[in-house]
Amino acid sequence: MDIELREEDLAFQQEVRDFLTQHAPKNSSELWSKRNDWFKALKEKGWDCPKWPVEFGGPGWTPVQHYIWDKETCNYSLPPELPFGKVMLAPILMRYGSKEQIERFLPDIRDNKVNWCQGYSEPGAG
């Protein structure tokens, strides 16, 4: 997709590039040894949960900023993040969870203190 970036988008793109240059592992051999440093840097920048709404601690990026982030991070070997907590469960909690559930689970999800998974049961299917 070719899009023409506005001045503020170009500034954000440069900010992302600078951040990646400073914090991304330098090569794939550092993926695991620098994993915690990477996630800590993301959190300190406020970019650890880019899809989360502002009211839950997300950065409030525009669709173009999400595009820039995705495009720029594709140029790096970054530590993988398990998607279940931040990407799958958290949005459900934000929408349907009680205040108590949100206060109990979202901080630990954001801090990568807990891992979530998805379980399936297919009775009669094997």
Structure tokens at 36: 């915690």
Contact 51, 58 (CB under 8 A): yes
Q: Same domain for 61 and 89?
A: no
Q: Same domain for 116 and 70?
A: no
Provide the pLDDT for residue 15: 99
Q: Same domain for 76 and 88?
A: no
Instruction: Compute, in degrees rounded to 10, the torsion defined by CA atoms 29, 33, 37, 42.
Output: 50
Provide the pLDDT for residue 126: 57
**Is it the case that residue 1 has pLDDT exceeding 70?**
no
pLDDT tier at 29, thresholds 50, 70, 90: confident
Query: Is 60 within the bounds of a domain?
Result: yes
| Residue 112, amino acid | N
Query: Is 125 within the bounds of a domain?
Result: no
In a 13 Å sphere around the CA of 10, the CA atoms on its Cβ side amount to 5
Contact 20, 72 (CB under 8 A): yes
Provide the pLDDT for residue 62: 96
Q: Residue 108: give the domain boundaries.
A: 82-120
What percent of the chain lies above the pLDDT cut of 90? 71
> Chain-wide mean pLDDT for the chain?
92
**Is it the case that residue 108 has pLDDT exceeding 80?**
yes
pTM for the structure as a whole: 0.84
- The Cα–Cα gap between 55 and 58 comes to 7
Quick: pLDDT tens for 36-76: 999 999 999 999 999 999 999 999 999 999 999 999 999 99
Query: Is 115 within the bounds of a domain?
Result: yes
Q: Same domain for 65 and 104?
A: no
Provide the pLDDT for residue 59: 97
Q: Same domain for 31 and 76?
A: yes
Q: Same domain for 73 and 115?
A: no
Contact 42, 48 (CB under 8 A): yes
Quick: pLDDT tens for 7-28: 999 999 999 999 999 999 988 8
Structure tokens at 78: 């970054």
